[in-house]
């Protein structure tokens, strides 16, 4: 039986911007088992990246707990590595690839003789030749830079990778290659993934489970196949409608209405109700409880079971 590698327990993170409180993450709970890949999806501004940074220890929850491998996360740790969306900004342009990949190993006090072997091994694992060792990030293509960022993370042998929009800045070919590589990495390196994305096709290809986030809250979670084929929340249906299937028989007829709510002024009750064509009076009055739809698949909607 698989055990939970990660447990997020009712965490909050609010920003103050222009005298307004932005509820970026507003009471989120989720779990990730060893060896699984969890996709975190939602529109821009839903709180995905803030949640990812808290899991990686880059931000600390203002309330709630994040438990990783049985211990509460209290800061950055080697076992959890964050791969940023913009590899150009994440890589120091004045450092060569060898130094960039080796940096984490040096901090771990790995002997110099072993560091070079590890650097070469991890570059090979991400599909980069030894010839890139002496190059600077500016001398690499976008796909190569993203692979260097992934190699940096893998070099210290993490148990969890937090990947923030890993292919959004790449062309289609480079993105497809990186996704295939990620699928291989999960098996060969036995590393779990939290993949943050707005692209449901990416999540479908790489992830085992998916959590749908809207306005600082998780609204649906479950196995990818179950959530994508039989979504219980109208917002999930909206996201799927925005990424239509090439098969007309599988397309979901959903009208996309309105804009995402202001995270500094969320509506009462269900936060999605102003955009939901299913909404009734109870949706405006009372936040929905979680409803179990099938094994491992739940949704926070008053009418999910219907």
Q: Which two tokens stand for residue 259?
A: 């804009």
Tens of pLDDT, residues 13-51: 999 977 889 999 999 999 999 889 999 999 988 999 999
Give the highest mean pLDDT range of 15-19, 95-99, 102-106, 240-244.
95-99
pLDDT for res 189: 75
Give SS3 for 190: coil
Amino acid 241: pLDDT: 85
pLDDT at 99 over 90: yes
pLDDT score at 252: 62
Per-residue pLDDT tens over the stretch 110-140:
888 899 899 999 998 888 999 999 999 999 9
Q: What percent of the chain has pLDDT over 70?
A: 95
How far, in Å, CA of 274 to CA of 260, rounded?
Answer: 9
Q: Where are the domains of the chain?
A: 4-79+158-300
Q: What fold characterizes domain 4-79+158-300?
A: Rossmann fold (3.40.50)
Structural contact between residues 206 and 182, judged by C-beta atoms closer than 8 angstroms: yes
C-alpha distance from residue 17 to each of 14, 178, 213 (Å): 10, 36, 21
The tally of CA atoms less than 13 A away on the side-chain side of residue 28 is 33
Rounded percentage of the chain residues whose pLDDT exceeds 90: 61
pTM, full prediction: 0.91
């Amino acid at each position: 039986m698989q055990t939970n590698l990660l447990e997020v327990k009712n965490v909050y993170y609010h920003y103050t911007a222009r005298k307004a409180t932005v509820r970026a993450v507003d009471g989120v709970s989720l779990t990730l088992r060893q060896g699984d890949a969890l996709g975190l999806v939602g529109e821009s501004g839903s709180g995905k990246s803030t949640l990812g940074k808290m899991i990686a220890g880059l931000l600390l929850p203002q309330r709630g707990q994040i438990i990783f491998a049985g211990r509460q996360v209290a800061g950055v740790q080697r076992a959890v590595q964050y791969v940023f969306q913009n590899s150009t900004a994440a890589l120091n342009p004045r450092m060569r690839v060898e130094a960039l990949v080796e940096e984490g190993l040096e901090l771990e006090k790995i002997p110099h003789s072993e560091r070079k072997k590890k650097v070469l091994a991890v570059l090979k694992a991400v599909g980069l030749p030894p010839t890139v060792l002496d190059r600077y990030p500016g001398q690499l293509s976008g796909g190569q830079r993203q692979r260097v960022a992934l190699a940096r993370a893998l070099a210290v042998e993490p148990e969890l990778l937090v990947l923030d929009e890993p292919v959004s800045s790449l062309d289609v070919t480079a993105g497809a290659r990186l996704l295939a590589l990620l699928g291989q990495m999960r098996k060969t390196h036995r590393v779990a993934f939290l993949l943050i994305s707005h692209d449901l096709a990416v999540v479908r290809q790489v992830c085992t489970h998916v959590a749908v986030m809207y306005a600082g809250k998780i609204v649906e979670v479950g196995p990818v196949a179950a959530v994508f084929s039989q979504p219980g929340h109208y917002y999930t249906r909206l996201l799927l409608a925005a990424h239509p299937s090439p098969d007309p028989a599988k397309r979901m007829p959903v009208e996309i209405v309105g804009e995402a709510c202001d995270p500094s002024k969320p509506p009462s009750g269900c936060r999605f109700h102003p955009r939901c064509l299913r909404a009734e009076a109870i949706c405006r009055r009372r936040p929905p409880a979680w409803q179990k739809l099938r094994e491992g698949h739940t949704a926070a909607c008053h009418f999910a079971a219907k």
